Amino acid sequence: MPVTAVTSDPEALTMTLVGEFAAPVDRLWRAFTEPAQLERFWGPPGYPSTFREFDFAPGGRASYVMTSPKGERFGGVWEFVQIDDGSSFTVLDSFADEHGVVNADMPTGRMVFTFEATDAGSRVTSVSHYPSVEALEQVIAMGAVEGSTLAMNQLDTVLQGLREYAQGKGTRTEILTDTHVRITRLIDGPRELVWRAHTEPELMKQWLLGPDGWRMSVCEIDPAVGGRYRYAWEPLEGTEGEPFGFDGETLVSEAPRRSVTTEHMTGTDFPSTTNDLSLYEEDGATLITTLIEYPDKETRDMVLATGMTDGMEASYARLERELISA
C-alpha cells in the first residue's frame, strides 16, 4: 500500500501521514495541485470530491464537496498560506457546508504537505496541526485516519495513468473491507458512450448479458435520482440455468460521471447492496470503477463465489466488441 505510516501526537497536537510512490516527485506534486487529479483520490472510496474552486496561490482558496453513496454532501475549504513550488504547500483546512461556507463549530487545522524524491520514486508527508487535544481527538474520532489512508491508497491509479494501470488486465476485483469490494475495468472508448451503455435500455440489452447463452428479457430503467429500475435475464434454448433479475433505486446520478444504485435480487428476501459506479476518461479510454457495499462479510463472500467477476468480464468484453468497436 502507498501509505506507509499514520501517526498522531497529542503533545505536538499533530496527525502525520506518509505515503511513498513509484513516481517522480514532480508527478506526485501535480496530483496534489491540479483539481482534476485531486478529484480522483481526495476522499475515501464512495466519497469522491468535486472541487468548486481552486486558486492555487498564497491567499487563494479551494473548496470541494464529497458526495456519499446516499447522496449526502460534505464540504471542505482550503486556504493556501504558503507555497514552495514543487516541494511543499501549507493550507488552513476547514469543514464546510456544500456551498463552501466554513463551519465555525468544527476545528480548523493547519496542514503542511511536503514532497521529496526517494530512491524508489517519491514521498509525500502531510502534517496536520490542531489548536487543542480536543480538536485532534475530534477529527480522529470522525475517522480521519481511516479516511485519509483509504483516500491516499487510491493515488497509484492516478499516478500511473489509465492505460498503464488497467489496459489488458481485464476485470479486477479488490476486497477493500469486510463489506466493500472495488471492481475495475478499462474500456477502450469514450466516457459518453460508456455512460449511455449503462443507462439506455436498447444499448444495455446488447452487452449486459454475462456468459454466452443468456438474453436480457427485461430492461426498465429511470436513471434520475429516486427512479427505479428492473432487469431480468433468461437462458436461451440449450443453456442451463433459471431466470433471475434485479431491481433497485437510483440514489445519486451525475451524468456522465457517477451513478449510485441499490441492488436487490427480485423475488427474494436477500439483503440489498449499494453499487457505486464511476467513469473516468483519459486518452480516449474509460475506467469503469464499481464500489459495492455488502451488508456483511458472509454476503460478500457468497456473491463473489458465484463467479461474478468472470460474468462481468464476459459482459465488458461484449461491450467493447459490440458497441465500442462496431
Query: Do residues 194 and 280 share a domain?
Result: yes
Cell of 282: 483519459
Query: Do residues 149 and 168 share a domain?
Result: no
Number of domains the chain contains: 2
Query: Do residues 230 and 149 share a domain?
Result: no
Average pLDDT, the chain: 94
Cell of 268: 427474494
- Which among 139, 160, 181 is the end of a domain? 160
- Which among 111, 131, 160 is the end of a domain? 160
Query: Do residues 135 and 173 share a domain?
Result: no
116, 117, 122, 128 alpha-carbon torsion, rounded to 10°? -10
Which band of pLDDT confidence, cut at 50, 70 and 90, is reported for residue 181? very high
pLDDT value at 215 more than 80: yes
**For the chain, counts of helices (H) and of strands (E):** 10, 16
Cell of 105: 463549530
Q: What is the pLDDT of residues 111-134, one digit of tens each?
A: 999 999 999 999 999 999 999 999
Query: Do residues 177 and 128 share a domain?
Result: no
pLDDT value at 2 more than 90: no
- Which among 141, 160, 179 is the end of a domain? 160
Range of the domain at 55: 3-160
Query: Do residues 118 and 266 share a domain?
Result: no
Query: Do residues 28 and 150 share a domain?
Result: yes
Number of other residues whose CB lies within 10 A of the CB of residue 323: 18
Query: Do residues 94 and 156 share a domain?
Result: yes
pLDDT value at 326 more than 80: no
Query: Do residues 253 and 136 share a domain?
Result: no
Which band of pLDDT confidence, cut at 50, 70 and 90, is reported for residue 210? confident
pTM of the model: 0.84
- Determine the pLDDT at residue 1: 52
How big is the chain, counted in residues?
326
Query: Do residues 186 and 148 share a domain?
Result: no
Tell me the average pLDDT across 288-296: 96
CATH code, domain with 98: 3.30.530.20
| Cα three-residue angle 75-130-76, rounded to 5 degrees | 10
| φ, ψ (nearest 5 deg) of residue 152 | -65, -30
